[in-house]
């Protein structure tokens, strides 16, 4: 790595023959801007560290909630209905970038799936980032976008707005899923998906008849509410993964900036020394010529 | 009465600050308010689903004590392995409710209902009244 830096310096010293002071100035300007970048990444790291602690605390509370909402579908053995499949995919991301591969990996999963079959699949993007990536190729498949997400921690109200929008959109999906990042630890998250079921799928579940006194109205309300709960839970998981990932990304960026600063300082000092030496040689050789 | 082997887990959360009141805990009995009427869940209750109504969930714990929790809306699911999930949008212990504040909410909702012009605003205000009434009733 050191040699790489020195070699760049070599090409600069040949320029320096022509305008030495300018190169020195260039290096010091560059040094200054890298220092500023480091300051920014460092403070972004601090901010996301604070946000992360909160997101993790929230997530601890939201997890049993999500598990609870999921449990019925598992217990009742609800499965997708396969005739005339109409799919719905909800991408959980946010508006904010600079957080590693959190958003792009969610978008990539959806893109890979759409690459196989893009008919009768609709995507709902939570957060501008997934929309920006997906709309290049699959603009027709995007049914809606929710933005202004990521600045503040997601709330149940946000989730219920999304659920309501999807239910009122009139798109009758037969199977659906939420693609999100499940938080594992500060350094890792996994891309996961969580199934969403329609009324038809739940009504056709093999074990539904063990449930007593169900009418369609109760079932419909139940599904609507549980969709909001699941969205809420996945948003919390996503937010926590995002903050932790941003923290790591910014930490790495600060480290890289630090390395760059070290290298540039060295280059700067060497160049300065070279300029001084050259000037001395000029003076001395000038004096010697006069003798 | 001999009550054993009931897994009643209750998860309640609120929108802003989330609370888990019970997480996979075994309890004796749970009374829940639903739109089809308030009912008590005992061990080996027949599996069912229901929608929560604003009101008070009462949990009778194994040591005989009970806890009352106010809930606004949400769902109840009772599964065939005797596990119960109560998921609420907003929840808080009953003794945390401030009666004058609850009355305020009810009054505000009633005046909103009176001044509502559209069907949707009316329906929203009606829901707010329902919650307000339940709040006042719970805290009295």
> A211-251, pLDDT tens digit by residue?
876 788 888 888 888 898 899 999 999 999 999 999 999 99
In chain B, where are the structural domains located?
A: 10-94, 97-139
Query: What do you get for the CA distance between the two ends of chain A, in Å?
Result: 47
Please give the pLDDT value at position A1. 38
Position A21 scores a pLDDT of 54
The domain in which residue A82 lies consists of 59-246
User: What pLDDT, in 10s, does the model give residues A91-149?
Assistant: 999 999 899 999 999 999 999 999 988 888 999 999 889 999 999 999 888 888 888 88
The stretch B44-66 carries a mean pLDDT of: 83
- Residue A265 inside a domain? The answer is no
Name residues whose C-beta falls within 8 Å of residue A217's C-beta, 6 or more positions apart in sequence: none
Whether B1 shows a pLDDT value over 70: the answer reads: no
Report the sign of the C-alpha dihedral through residues A254, A260, A266, A270, in that order.
negative
This model's pTM is above 0.95: no
> Does residue A275 lie within any of the structural domains?
no
Which of A67, A214, A221 is facing B48, going by the closest CB pair?
A214
Compute the distance between CA of residue B57 and CA of residue A154 in angstroms, rounded to an integer. Answer: 26
pLDDT exceeds 50 at position B12: no
Q: Is residue A254 part of a domain?
A: no
What is the predicted pLDDT for the residue at B34? 86
Is residue A62 within 8 Å of B13, Cβ to Cβ? yes
Q: What is the ipTM of this complex?
A: 0.78
Which DSSP string corresponds to chain B? --------------SSS---S-SS--EEEEEE-BTT--EEE-TTPPPEEEEE-SEEEEEEETTS-EEEEEE-SEEEEE-TTS-EEEEESSEEEGGG--HHHHHHHHHHHHHHHHH--SHHHHHHHHHHHHHHHHHHHHH-
Q: How many CB atoms lie within 10 A of CB B23?
A: 14
Q: Does domain B97-139 have CATH number 2.40.50?
A: no
Which comes out higher in pLDDT, residue A7 or A47? A47
Q: What is the mean pLDDT of chain B?
A: 76
Considering only the top CATH level, what class is B10-94? mainly beta
**Residue A202 counted as domain residue:** yes
> Looking at the domain assignment, is residue A137 inside a domain?
yes
A2 pLDDT higher than 70: no
Q: In this structure, how many other beta carbons lie within 10 angstroms of the beta carbon of residue B131?
A: 22
Cβ distance A229 to B75 less than 8 Å, yes or no, reads yes
List the strands of the sheet with B39-41, edge to edge: B39-41, B27-32, B55-61, B66-71, B91-93
Which span out of A41-45, A219-223, B27-31, B83-87 was modeled with the highest average pLDDT?
A: A41-45
Q: Which of A35, A38, A32, A7 is nearest to A270 (CA)?
A: A7
Residue with tokens 């997906």: A134
Q: A289: which 2 tokens?
A: 């010529």
A171 touches chain B (CB under 8 A): no
Give the model's pLDDT for residue A22.
Answer: 61
Is pLDDT larger for residue A189 or for residue B41?
Answer: A189
- Number of domain units in chain A: 1
Across the interface, do A212 and B23 touch by the CB < 8 Å criterion?
A: no
- Interface touch A213/B73, C-beta < 8 Å: no
Read off the pLDDT of each residue in B4-25 and give the average, rounded to a whole number: 46
- Chain A residues within an 8 Å CB radius of B16: 155
- The Cα B123–Cα A43 span in angstroms is 47
Chain A closest-CA separation from residue B89 CA (Å): 7
Chain B residues in contact with A61 by the CB 8 A cut-off are 13, 18-20
Distance CA A79, CA A82 (A): 9
**pLDDT at position A259:** 97
Query: What average pLDDT does range B37-44 have in this prediction?
Result: 82
Q: Does B81 touch chain A (CB under 8 A)?
A: yes
**pLDDT-based confidence at B16, cuts 50/70/90?**
very low
CA dihedral for A158, A164, A170, A172, sign (positive or negative): positive
> Does residue A267 form part of some domain?
no
């Amino acid at each position: 790595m050191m040699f790489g830096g020195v070699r760049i310096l070599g090409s600069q010293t040949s320029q320096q023959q022509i305008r030495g002071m300018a190169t020195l100035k260039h290096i010091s300007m560059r040094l200054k801007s890298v220092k500023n970048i480091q300051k920014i990444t460092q403070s972004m790291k601090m901010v996301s560290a604070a946000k992360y602690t909160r997101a993790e605390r929230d997530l601890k509370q939201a997890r049993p909630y999500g598990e609870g909402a999921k449990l019925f579908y598992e217990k009742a053995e609800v499965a997708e209905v396969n005739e005339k499949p109409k799919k719905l995919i909800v991408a959980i991301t946010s508006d904010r970038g600079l957080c590693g591969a959190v958003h792009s990996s969610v978008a990539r999963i959806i893109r890979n799936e759409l690459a196989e079959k893009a008919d009768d699949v609709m995507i709902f993007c939570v957060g501008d980032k997934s929309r920006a990536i997906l709309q290049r190729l699959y603009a027709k498949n995007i049914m809606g976008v929710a933005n202004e997400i990521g600045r503040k921690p997601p709330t149940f109200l946000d989730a219920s707005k999304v659920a309501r929008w999807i239910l009122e959109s009139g798109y009758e999906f037969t199977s659906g899923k939420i693609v999100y990042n499940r938080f594992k630890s500060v350094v890792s998250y996994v891309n996961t998906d969580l199934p969403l079921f329609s009324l038809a799928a739940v009504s056709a579940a093999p074990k539904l008849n063990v449930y007593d006194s169900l009418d369609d109205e109760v079932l419909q309300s139940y599904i609507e509410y549980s969709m909001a709960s699941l969205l809420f839970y996945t948003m919390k998981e996503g937010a926590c993964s995002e903050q932790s990932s941003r923290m790591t990304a910014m930490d790495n960026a600060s480290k890289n900036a630090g390395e760059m600063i070290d290298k540039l300082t060295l280059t700067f000092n060497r160049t300065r020394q070279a300029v001084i030496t050259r000037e001395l040689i000029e003076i001395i050789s000038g004096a010697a010529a006069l003798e | 009465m001999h009550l054993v082997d009931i897994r009643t887990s209750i998860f309640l959360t609120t929108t802003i600050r989330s609370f888990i009141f019970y997480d996979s805990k075994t309890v004796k009995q749970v009374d829940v308010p639903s739109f089809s009427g308030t009912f008590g869940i005992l061990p080996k209750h027949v599996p069912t689903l229901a929608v929560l109504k604003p009101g008070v969930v009462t949990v009778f714990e194994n040591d005989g004590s009970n806890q009352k929790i106010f809930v606004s809306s949400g769902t109840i699911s009772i599964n065939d392995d005797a596990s119960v999930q109560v998921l609420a949008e907003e929840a808080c212990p009953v003794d945390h409710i401030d009666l004058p504040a609850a009355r305020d909410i009810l009054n505000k909702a009633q005046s909103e209902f009176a001044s509502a012009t559209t069907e949707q605003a009316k329906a929203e205000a009606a829901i707010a009244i329902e919650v307000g009434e339940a709040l006042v009733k719970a805290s009295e």
